[in-house]
Amino acid sequence: MKIMKIIAQIAFLYAVSFVGDWLHNLLHLPIPGSIIGFFLLLVALVVILVCFQIPYSTYMIGGQWSNLLLGPSVVSLAYPLYKQRNILIKNLLPVLGGFLHWPLYLS
């Protein structure tokens, strides 16, 4: 029974990815289909949590592992950026320009 649940979850992720690719091709968006699929999953998660009135504490019972694993990686990326903040502020326009137009090169 557990294997069927895993197969269903993987199939769901593939379906959402397929919908993201389909929207990308249909609307000619400069954002890759995988990113569109990610946002669709995020919206679906929020809708499910709100519609079924699932409290944050209940949601985080399963999410504590991701929080535990992602916390150190976020800090390990944020600390060097904080140390180099003067360089980033000095070059803010080129950094923002590169960040904002990167989807154009991925399509």
Q: What is the pLDDT of residues 43-96, one digit of tens each?
A: 988 898 899 998 888 887 877 777 777 788 888 888 888 999 999 899 999 888
Does this model's pTM top 0.75? My answer is no
For every residue of the chain, DSSP letters joined together read -HHHHHHHHHHHHHHHHHHHHHHHHHHT-SS-HHHHHHHHHHHHHHHHHHHTT--HHHHHHHHHHHHHHHHHHHHHHHHHHHHTHHHHHHTHHHHHHHHHSTHHHH-
> What are the residue boundaries of the structural domains of the chain, listed by start?
1-54, 69-107
